[in-house]
Amino acid sequence: MSALARLVTRREALAAGIAAGSGVLLGGCARQLPPTYGSLLRLGDNLTYVAHRMLLPGESLVREYSRADLSSFPAVGTIDSASARRAAVAETYRRWQDSGFGEWRLQVSGAVARPGGWSLADLRGLPSRTQITKHTCEEGWTAIGEWTGVPLSRVLDAAGLQPSARFVTFKSIDGWYDSIDLLDALHPQTLLAYGMNGRDLPIAHGAPLRLRVERQIGYKSMKFLTELVVTEHLDDGGARGNPKNGWAWYTGI
Instruction: Give the footprint of ligand MTE on this chain (CB under 6 A).
Output: 73-78, 137, 172, 174, 176, 205, 218-219, 221-224
Q: Say whether the peptide bond before residue 208 is cis (omega within 30 degrees of 0).
A: yes
**Residue 16 touches Mo ion, criterion: CB under 5 A:** no
Q: Binding to Mo ion by residue 219, rule CB under 5 A?
A: yes
User: Quick one: 158 or 222, whose CB is closer to ligand MTE?
Assistant: 222
Task: Name which of 24 and 225 has its Cβ closer to Mo ion.
Answer: 225
Neighbours of 239 (CB within 10 A): 8
CA atoms within 13 A on the CB side of 166: 15
Q: Which is nearer to ligand MTE, 26 or 211 (CB)?
A: 211
93 is a contact residue toward Mo ion (CB under 5 A): no
Name the closest residue to ligand MTE (Cβ).
77
Shortest CB 93 distance to ligand MTE, Å: 11
- Note whether 176 binds Mo ion by CB under 5 A: no
Piece of 15-23, 133-141, 233-241, 245-253 that binds Mo ion (CB under 5 A): 133-141
How many Å apart are CA 148 and CA 150, to the nearest integer?
A: 7
Q: Which does 172 bind (CB under 5 to 8 A by kind): Mo ion, ligand MTE, none?
A: ligand MTE
We find the least distance from the C-beta atom of residue 77 to ligand MTE, in angstroms, to be 2
From 18-26, 105-113, 131-139, 220-228, span contacting Mo ion (CB under 5 A):
131-139
CA–CA distances in Å: residue 206 to residues 47, 77, 226:
31, 10, 11
Determine if 79 is a binding residue for Mo ion (CB under 5 A): no
Residue 218 binding Mo ion, by CB under 5 A: yes
Nearer to ligand MTE, 164 or 245 (CB): 245
Per residue, what are the HEC states of the chain?
A: CCHHHHHHHHHHHHHCCCCCECCECCCCCCCCCCCCCCCCCCHHHHHHHHHHHHHCCCCCCCCCCCHHHCCCCCCCCCCCHHHCCCHHHHHHHHHHHHCCCCCCCEEEEECECCCEEECHHHHHCCCCEEEEEEEECCCCCEEEEEEEEEEHHHHHHHHCECCCCCEEEEEECCCCEEEEEHHHHCCCCCEEEEEECCEECCHHHCCCCEEECCCECHHHCCCCEEEEEEECCCCCCHHHCCHHHCCCCCCEC
Residue 91 interaction partner, one of ligand MTE, Mo ion, none, beta carbon < 5-8 Å per kind: none
- In the complex, minimum distance from the CB of residue 137 to ligand MTE, in angstroms, rounded to a whole number: 4
In the list ligand MTE, Mo ion, none, the entry touching 49 (Cβ below 5 to 8 angstroms by class) is none
* Shortest distance in whole angstroms from residue 223 CB to Mo ion: 11
> What single-letter amino acid sits at 148?
T
Q: Taking the complex as a whole, how short is the minimal distance between the CB of residue 181 and Mo ion, in angstroms?
A: 20
Q: Which residues bind Mo ion (CB under 5 A)?
A: 137-138, 218-219
